[in-house]
Structure 1
Amino acid sequence: MPRTRAGFTLAVIAAASLTGCGVGGAGTGSSQQTVASDAPLKGAITFQTWSLKNDKFTPYFTALIKDFETQHPGTTVNWVDQPGDGYADKVSSQVTSDSLPDVINLPQDIAHSVAKVGGLLDLSKNVPTLAQDYVHSGVAAYTYPDLGGDGFAFPWYLGTDVSFWNKAMLQRDGLDPAKLPKTFDELVAQAKVMHDASGGKDYLMSRPPGLSDIVNSGTPLMTPDGKKFDFSSAPAAAMLDKYTAAYAAGYLPSNVLTSTYEGNSALFTKQEVAWTTGGGNYIQSTTQSNPTLAPQIVPSPALDTPPLYVQGISVAAKSKNLPLALAFGRFVTDDANQKAFIKLAPGFLPGSAASANDPAYSKSDGTAQGDASVIAYQDMQKAVIFTPPVWTDAMNTFLNQQVALAMTGKESAKQALDNAVSRANQLLGQ
């Protein structure tokens, strides 16, 4: 079940945005409607998931739907599952043809595009306890300042990053595994110690900066109304200057800015670098794939602010059976059903607030893996999605190019960020 920084699903990744698929423009306002809380539940609805129909999850959804229909006689839930590839295009087609399913699994970026044209019900207008029933970070992920809504999906399954360290490498180079970095500045300081002690053979840092580093400098990526990019700040430039200095001093692999760079995780697996990030079950999965490395791994909270990855359950604003759709959306994402689903998906976390009372997320069994699971749940509470829903691959490519120019001394950090902001806004306007 792969995962990326741009968004995730249990079986496939898709970072495409509907904004680029012909769905855009001002909202219609239909998402602001209110559903009668005492309306009878009857009739049929369609429920759509994303690449979850398989031997592992089909029995779960079959039982889930049967349970709901049994509790509400006279109702029918028709489950459809879309393949992973081309999901954004499929949803775009459903929107334009007025065939969007009543209840639909959407990642944050695609949900934004559908909500932008009035396609999703604003749950904050219909679920008074939304903020209390679901984890704050998950609700915030589907709150879009440019649209004015406070929740366009029930947070369903979530992920975040935990820091993982190679204890043997740390000790070999004079670093204490009990005093791990908590901030970017502490990371740079310890990277110098490792570099100097190993004669430049070992690395603690092994990735160039990106959007997450800009946000962690205290810089908002967009204007408060969410309509323009504006991240060329003095703190962001100072952060980039620190990366530039670290790169020049040899604290990062020399090829980190080139096409031959294998990636942070691959280098950690090879035990060429001593720090990486991953989901809460990283140690467990490494035990199976790399049993000699696993015993050396020590977990700690993500540096500064952790990233959030989230999938949600939205309700179509134009559903012909809104009371039933809303009730089923809440049922799918209630605490009991979320935790049952997560048991089938190691490494992911439930979006229900009540899950905090589950010992699986609140108390370690004393192992490194147990510690990592608890750390991941704690990280999730304060995690944020660094990538705005309108951020595109083209914007990211240009930012990476500007970062490389700055880190190799061809541009100042401020100029590189100015250029990235200008280009991002140009692309946004298109």
Structure 2
Amino acid sequence: MASSFEYVQHPRRSLPPPIPTRSGPAAAFLPGTFHPINPKQVSAGNDQVLLSGWGKFVRWLVVLASIFAIIVGINLILDGVYSVGTTSANRMYELAANPYMGLLIGVLATALVQSSTTTTTLTVAAVGTGLISVPVAIPIIMGANIGTTMTALLVSFSYVGERREFKKAFTTAAMHLWFNTLVVLVAVTVEVLFHPLRSFSGYMADRLVGSADNTVPTTHIVQTVVEPFIELIGTNGLFGLFGSQTVAAVFSLIAGTAIILVSIRVMSFQLHMITAATAHSLLDMFSDPEESKPATVRTNLLGFGVGVLFTIMVTASAVTVSSMQPFAVTKTLKRRAILAVILGANVGTTMTAAIATFAVVGIHGAFALQAALVHVSLNLFGAIVVLCIPRVGRAIITLAEKSAQLAARSYTTTLITLVSFYIAIPSALLLLYTVMT
């Protein structure tokens, strides 16, 4: 099994040990990797692979192919929407017109796919098609911020053997939960009343694109590269052979969504493999293995920067937060410093959706960019507030500690509560709202 081996650097790289033929994780058989040595039971979070130059090259090719696939997926969604007509397609998103229902959709969707990047990228793509407007997208993006906190909370259950360790790990994950939840609760209320995120992101999008033009600068380049593929498999190509234009459009929408889901997963996994050593080195440099020192302004800023860079590398804030749990368990880092890394992770995770906007072809490109900037602004403003007002950070840490104390009383009750909060309750409320309307 993959978790039965530890990947360590071989002392003589010129003479790597032979690759096993019948055992070991699948990663050992990919080009340029060294097989596991000194086998022992290690956690998945500490499982690393040493890659040769050829191994990195192959994986970078996979990353580039994944990015291209995401672009194709976005444009397949565009093709499907334009074929079926935005009026008909908008019926699928009527629920999201209510900001609080949109918030629940974001929470539920992200909890189910375990990736806020996927949810925000699909939402940006929907804005780029004209399927939903920016005001409708904003609550969904906010909900994705809450939904993504589920992953680290579940990872903390790997420490259930020792309650003290579980409390420390759960506290780290709960800091992510409380920060995102409090920011979203404040932001959604203020946004409904005064629309600051919509106004600021619209202003920035106009500055970047130009108010007289609704297309992003890369539109023509993307169209030239991607259009042959869309013509081949889109509503006028392969999918057009399945029947009516509506059927072809549905296939195009489903295929585009599936391609984005899979591609983001593949890209995240490969980037994690490529950058694992570098990313963990960043965290090791940030921590002091000999002594846990109090957090200062310098360490907070350093932690924020590490969180941003680490998350850009692995394209998942949940991975960054989960990686902080061993530091919390061993007391290598103070909780305030860990919170700084979490704040940086929240900003770093916005980059994928922002980059995806440059793949949007059509007149709604600037609106897609605006939706992505909403995500960046939301997380950046929240981080600035916590970094600049220590009392807010202390309140988040206190709430997280209290949550961990309650969670440690009963693992089963805690797990049921998490499933209810992220999945059962949003599903029930959405169903009830649908029935009532």
TM-score above 0.5, yes or no: no
Greater share of residues in strand: 1
User: What TM-score results when the alignment is normalised by the length of structure 2?
Assistant: 0.23
Greater helix proportion: 2
Using the size of structure 1 for normalisation, the TM-score is 0.24
